[in-house]
Structure 1
Amino acid sequence: MSQQFDAILRGLKLKITPKRRAILEILAGEGGYASPEEVWHQLKLRFDRVGLPTVYRNLEELATGGAISKIIHPNRQLYYYYCGNREHHHHFVCLSCRRVEDVAFCALAELEKAVAGRIVSHVFQANGYCRECSQNREDSLCDVG
Structure 2
Amino acid sequence: MTSQSPVRRTRQQLAIREALAGRSDFVAAQQLHASMVSGGHKVGLATVYRALQSFDEAGEVDSIVTEAGETLYRACETPRHHHHLVCRECGRTEEIDGPEVEAWTARVAADHGFSEVEHTAEIFGRCLDCAA
TM-score normalised according to structure 1 size: 0.76
Please give the alpha-carbon distance, in whole angstroms, between the structure 1 residues aligned to 2:105 and 2:78: 23
Q: How many residues of Structure 1 are paired with residues of Structure 2 in the alignment?
A: 124
Q: Which protein is richer in helix relative to its size?
A: 1
Structure 1 position 26 matched with structure 2 position 19: yes
Contact 2:26 2:91 (8 Å CA) reproduced = yes
Q: Which has the higher contact order (CA 8 A, sep 6+)?
A: 2
Task: State which of 40, 44, 65 in structure 1 corresponds to 2:58.
Answer: 65
Contact 1:19 1:43 (8 Å CA) reproduced = no
1:89-128 correspondence to structure 2 within 5 Å: 89-106=82-99, 107-116=101-110, 117-128=114-125
Any unmatched runs of 5+ in structure 1?
A: 1-10, 136-145
Contact 1:94 1:130 (8 Å CA) reproduced = yes
TM-score normalised according to structure 2 size: 0.82
Structure 1 position 119, deviation (Å)? 4.1
- The amino acid across from 1:47 in the alignment is H
DSSP 3-state at the match of 2:18: helix
Structure 1 position 46 matched with structure 2 position 40: yes
DSSP 3-state at the match of 1:122: coil
Q: Which runs of 4+ in 1 moved over 4 A?
A: none
Structure 1 position 134, deviation (Å)? 1.6
Task: State which of 28, 48, 61 in structure 2 corresponds to 1:55.
Answer: 48
Task: State which of 68, 73, 89 in structure 2 corresponds to 1:80.
Answer: 73
- The Cα offsets for residues 16-48 of structure 1, whole Å up to 9 and x where unpaired, read as 333222222222222111110111112223323
Q: Which moved more, 1:11-20 or 1:70-79?
A: 11-20
- The amino acid across from 1:113 in the alignment is R
Q: Percent identity?
A: 28
Please give the alpha-carbon distance, in whole angstroms, between the structure 2 residues aligned to 1:22 and 1:100: 23
DSSP 3-state at the match of 1:46: coil
